[in-house]
């Protein structure tokens, strides 16, 4: 099963004061950190949905075998309408690649989510789950995984600033919960004060 990475990074970071995809942490852009985690987790290709901010050069990430990773930047012209439009844009971009069987979705502003989290979600999909969601002491968060069979339903159900969460919660019979609390607490970056020291 070929599992892609899907990084949602199109927002303008209204609470942060600027688009978070370009915010640096430890000298690296959050977008680059998210891509690197996807590549280390073996997700291929890595699709990054952008909108309010674009990098000045194509991000580079190498795979463990030394080859250059397949990174695809996708424009979401409707980014201002919320995260749902980015989910739809990313899934539509992957729909055109018949070799991709599933996708693991992650957010650009959650640097606490690393390759171990992404790998666990991908493993659940490879083991037969139609969808999978990371949980932290039972609370559903990101990343989330979706097989191709559910993409259309997810794309139809997302709205506004909600990602796949609404679909995941309304289809518990299809969703495998993947506990990730042992990998560390889930945190996101909403304001400059949320950036780790």
Residue 69 DSSP class:
P
Long-range contacts of 70-78 (CB under 8 A, 24+ apart): 70/44, 70/45, 70/46, 71/35, 71/45, 71/46, 72/45, 72/46, 72/47, 72/48, 73/48, 74/47, 74/48, 74/49, 74/50, 75/50, 75/51, 76/10, 76/49, 76/50, 76/51, 77/51, 78/51
* pLDDT single digits (tens) 46-95: 999 999 988 877 666 655 555 678 999 999 999 999 999 999 999 999 99
Whole-model pTM? 0.93
d(CA 75, CA 54) in angstroms, rounded, equals 9
Domains of the chain (ranges, CATH numbers):
3-194 (3.90.550.10)
d(CA 139, CA 133) in angstroms, rounded, equals 10
* pLDDT single digits (tens) 88-126: 999 999 999 999 999 999 999 999 999 999 999 999 999
Q: Do residues 52 and 119 touch, judged by C-beta distance below 8 A? A: no
């Amino acid at each position: 099963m070929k599992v892609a990475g899907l990084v949602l990074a199109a927002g303008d970071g209204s609470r942060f004061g600027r688009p978070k995809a370009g915010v640096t942490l430890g000298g690296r852009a959050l977008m680059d950190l998210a891509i690197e985690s996807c590549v280390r987790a073996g997700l291929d290709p890595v699709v990054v949905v952008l909108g309010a901010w674009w990098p000045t050069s194509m991000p580079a990430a190498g795979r463990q075998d030394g080859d250059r990773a397949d990174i695809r930047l996708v424009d979401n012209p409707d980014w201002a309408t919320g995260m749902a439009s980015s989910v739809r844009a990313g899934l539509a971009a992957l729909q055109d690649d018949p070799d991709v069987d599933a996708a693991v979705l992650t957010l650009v502003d959650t640097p606490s989510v690393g390759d171990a989290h992404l790998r666990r979600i991908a493993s659940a999909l490879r083991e037969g789950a139609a969808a999978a969601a990371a949980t932290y002491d039972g609370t559903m968060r990101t990343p989330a995984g979706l097989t191709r069979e559910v993409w259309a339903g997810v794309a139809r159900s997302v709205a506004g600033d909600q990602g796949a969460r609404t679909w995941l919660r309304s289809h518990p019979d299809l969703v495998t919960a993947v506990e990730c609390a042992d990998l560390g607490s889930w945190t996101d970056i909403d304001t400059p004060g949320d950036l780790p020291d």
